[in-house]
Amino acid sequence: MKRCHNCLKELDIRTHVGRKDVCPSCGSDLRCCLNCLYHAPGTYNACREPQADRVVEKDRSNFCDYFILAEDGSGSSAKDPESAKNRLDALFK
């Protein structure tokens, strides 16, 4: 289930996400670091892809060639730590 990093609303995405695509609910850019599978706060450049160019504004649209829309909106774990903990606990059941 694909979600917007900002409002966490479910997205109906069947094609690739373009640079000008925005969330229909809140208007946030969809092709941004915060929605990317490789986004990882705490790592160098907040990205797990070592060849990606540095992006300063993580919530703004960019031209990164490595962008892959994350399944749950990578910002969701930061906004809802209890949900992230529940998903982690479910892995070990």
pLDDT in tens, 26-68: 999 999 999 999 999 999 899 999 999 999 999 999 999 999 9
Domain residues for the domain of 40 are: 1-93
Per-residue confidence (pLDDT) for residue 76, from 0 to 100: 40
Q: Is the predicted pLDDT of residue 22 greater than 80, yes or no?
A: yes
Residue 84: C-alpha distances to residues 8, 30, 47 (Å): 13, 21, 19
pTM of this prediction?
Answer: 0.73
Domain count across the chain: 1
Any residues with CB less than 8 A from the CB of 23 and at least 6 apart, and which?
4, 6, 7, 9, 11, 30
Are 13 and 78 contacting, i.e. CB atoms less than 8 angstroms apart?
no
Per-residue DSSP letter, 17? P
